[in-house]
Amino acid sequence: MDTNFLQVRMQRLFTEGFIVLDISEALISFDGERDAADVQRFMSEKNLAIIGVRKDGVVAGYANKDELTGGKCADHMQEFDDKQVLSATSSLQEVMEALAETRYCFVSVLGKVGGIVSRTDIQKPPVRMWLFGMITIMEMFMVRTIEKLYPNGSWQQEVSKGRLKKAEEILRERQSRNQDARLIDCLQFSDKGYILIKDPDMRKDFGFETMRLAKRAIKDLESLRNNLAHTQDVLTHNWAAIVTMATRLNKIMTRI
């Protein structure tokens, strides 16, 4: 199959194929007249941090467990901010951007809030697949671009002897297992990135103002990729960094 065609298909899948409903949870709600302390005990038992608060049978807002110390649930209700509420078909990128502003966001189904997403939900398989898929597509793009910028293997002059030797070792290992591989495929993610960002036009295309920022971003993406590949905790990165990386990946996807 043509690699460009495959890349376009994968790009569409990973930028449009996952939506907020793939990771959201049902928002458990209580009538506003319910005793707040009773609801707080229930939330402690069920390990809930947020509940919906109903008014006239409709979820009109939410309440935090720590605030339900007395009175009625309605006494502690906070109204939904428009920035917190996403439609059921919102993309994961929109989820990431919403969670950059608040620890929780809510999902509206048929005009009524019925779901909730928290930052911990990015550990779920759909988000990990989405992030890893975009990084994989980006890596395919990097290989293809390097081969255009440095034809006939001339890119090898842009890699240190140590990194090139490592790639050759990986190539021999893959070949011993009868795996179809090329030397460029055996470079580490950061090696490929560093080759590309040496070109000023590529740095500009990727949105990097300086070489230092470009190197930092490549290193962060490689770290995120490795955590995803080895099913490690994605939240070891700070939240701002995760949102920045996801946004950068999404922008790159629109350019390739």
> Residue 200 is which amino acid?
P
pLDDT category at 1 given cuts 50, 70, 90 is very low
Q: What is the mean pLDDT of residues 61-71?
A: 96
Which run of H or of E encompasses 143? helix 125-149
Longest CA–CA span in the chain (Å) reads: 75
Q: Which of 98, 96, 126, 134 is nearest to 21 (CA)?
A: 126
Selection from 28, 38, 114, 34 nearest residue 74 by Cα = 34
pLDDT at 223 over 90: no
Q: How confident is the model at residue 11 (pLDDT cuts 50, 70, 90)?
A: low
Residue in the block written with tokens 């995760």: 242
Residue 5 has a pLDDT of: 59
Q: How many CB atoms lie within 10 A of CB 224?
A: 23
Q: What are residue 33's phi and psi, to 5 degrees?
A: -85, -5
- In angstroms, the CA 55 to CA 31 distance is 6
Q: Has this prediction a pTM greater than 0.95?
A: no
d(CA 222, CA 189): 6
Domain 24-119 has CATH 3.10.580.10: yes
**pLDDT on residue 17:** 77
**Run of H or E residues at 118:** strand 112-118
Residues 218, 191: Cα–Cα separation, whole Å: 9
Please enumerate in sequence order all residues whose Cβ is within 8 A of that of 173, keeping only pairs 6 or more positions apart, or say none. none
Q: Where is average pLDDT lowest: 73-82, 90-99, 132-141, 156-165?
A: 132-141
pLDDT at 69: 92
Q: Percent of the chain scored above 90 by pLDDT?
A: 56
Residues of the chain with CATH 3.10.580.10: 24-119
List CB contacts of 83: < 8 A, sequence separation 6 or more: 98, 101, 102
User: Average pLDDT of the chain?
Assistant: 88
Tell me which of 61 and 2 has the higher pLDDT: 61
**Using one digit for the tens of pLDDT, what is the confidence trace for 12-60?**
666 667 899 999 999 999 999 999 999 999 999 999 999 999 999 999 9
156-198 pLDDT, tens digit per residue, is 999 999 999 999 999 999 999 999 889 999 999 999 999 999 9
Q: Of 176-185, 196-205, 218-227, which one has max mean pLDDT?
A: 176-185
Q: How far apart are CA 82 and CA 63, in angstroms?
A: 16
The one-letter amino acid at 254: T
DSSP 3-state helix, strand, coil percentages of the chain (rounded to 5)? 60, 15, 25
Residue 103 CA to its chain's centroid (Å): 15
Query: Residue 249 phi/psi, 5° resolution?
Result: -60, -45
